[in-house]
Amino acid sequence: MRVLSLVGARPQIIKEAVLHEQFARHGVEEILVHSGQHYDYNMSDVFFEVLKIRKPDYNLNVGSGKHGEMTGKIMIEFEKVVEKEKPELILVYGDTNTTMAGAIVGAKLKIPVAHVEAGIRQHPKDMPEEINRVLTDHVSNLLFCPSRLAVENLRKEGITEGVYFVGDVMYDLYKKMENTFSYEVFESLGLKESQYIILTLHRDFNVDQREVLEKILSSLAEVSKRFQIIFPIHPRTKSRVRDFGLQSYLENVTVIEPVDYLNLMGLVKRCWKVITDSGGLQKEAYFAGKRAIVLMPDTGWIELVKEGWNKLSDAEHLLDLLLEDKDVKYPCDLYGNGNSAERIVEIVSSFNF
């Protein structure tokens, strides 16, 4: 059996690597294609070492560009690879232009398409990622959902065949890496368990406008009077804070350079709460048993909010939500039990082509 996996961004590379291990165990031949949408060949970190991430069999080298231009280039180049390799299945991940382009090529060539992380929905509906998700789901034959809510989202859109709740591949990764989490940064900062907040902030709608960023930082300055905040600052955010002259708001915040995954997870595992606008960190906080305040108007992981575990917030209500200390039972098994990659490969292997 031949599977053609198409990736285009770092999170997709990581998810593919988790799945690749299972494909190899099940004797499935997997060909890896990278669109070149986002890639740094010099990127060297723990994922590459632990997951043994490999070089793609093909790189389409499309680079960056406008949405239509990028999507079109990927479709043109990917179609050539598909016609050459003649796979039995095309596998796409997530919500990028690469995802949608690969799914459309597969559908047009009448090759079954499998979508990992299907059924995620988020407002606003005109955001590029949401458009990519919806279109990909509607042309896919196998839809691998990370949550039961994702299955329900698809049902509401009339998609019920080929839909599977398999859990989240990123939970597989978390469990695989948990025993190697590092506490080096935790110890170097002299932190005490459950007595600090982890903050990450990088979304364009939060940091690119001075007025918006100032409101958030002003609110964080109030929080920092009562709680210690550890802030691994994203390069984009660091630049905006400097350009807008907002450094004074961070006087009581422990600002550090970005840290690797193992140290970040070590910090999260021992923190009190998390404040973030990162989609990934919302879930990773949950995996670690920590609650998060999400600085976004909506999230693709809304089940965490519906269960009362995480909370959506704007700058104005940040401190109030942190202090709100309702006793919430940990919602178990929202994203499976850490064997989603194995489940996906088993379903793919038994699919009637």
Q: How many domains does the chain have?
A: 2
Give the tens place of pLDDT for each residue, 113-122: 999 999 999 9
Q: Is 187 contained in some domain? A: yes
Q: What is the pLDDT of residues 164-199, one digit of tens each?
A: 999 999 999 999 999 999 999 999 999 999 999 999
Q: What is the CATH number of the domain that holds 209?
A: 3.40.50.2000
Residues 45-96: pLDDT tens digits? 566 676 778 889 999 988 878 989 999 999 999 999 999 999 999 999 999 9
Per-residue pLDDT at 43: 40
Together in a domain, 38 and 152: yes
Residues 312 and 344 placed together within one structural domain of the fold? no
Report helix, strand or coil for 231: strand
pLDDT tens digits for 209-251? Answer: 999 999 999 999 999 999 999 999 999 999 999 999 999 999 9
Do 260 and 151 reside in the same domain of the chain?
no
331 within a domain of the structure (yes/no): no
**Are residue 157 and residue 53 in the same domain, yes or no?**
yes
144 and 203 belong to one structural domain:
no
Q: What is the predicted pLDDT for the residue at 47?
A: 65
Residue 205: strand pairing partners: none
Q: Which two tokens stand for residue 181?
A: 């989490």
**Is residue 110 a part of any domain in this protein?**
yes
In terms of residue numbers, what domain contains 72?
Answer: 2-168+336-350
Annotated catalytic residues are 202
From 141, 187, 185, select the one nearest 164 (Cα to Cα).
141
174 is a domain residue: no
- What pLDDT was estimated at residue 45? 55
Whole-model pTM: value is 0.91
Peptide bond into 124 cis (omega under 30): yes
CA–CA separation, 17 and 242 (whole Å): 37
pLDDT (tens digit, 9 = 90+) per residue, 318-330?
A: 999 999 877 899 9
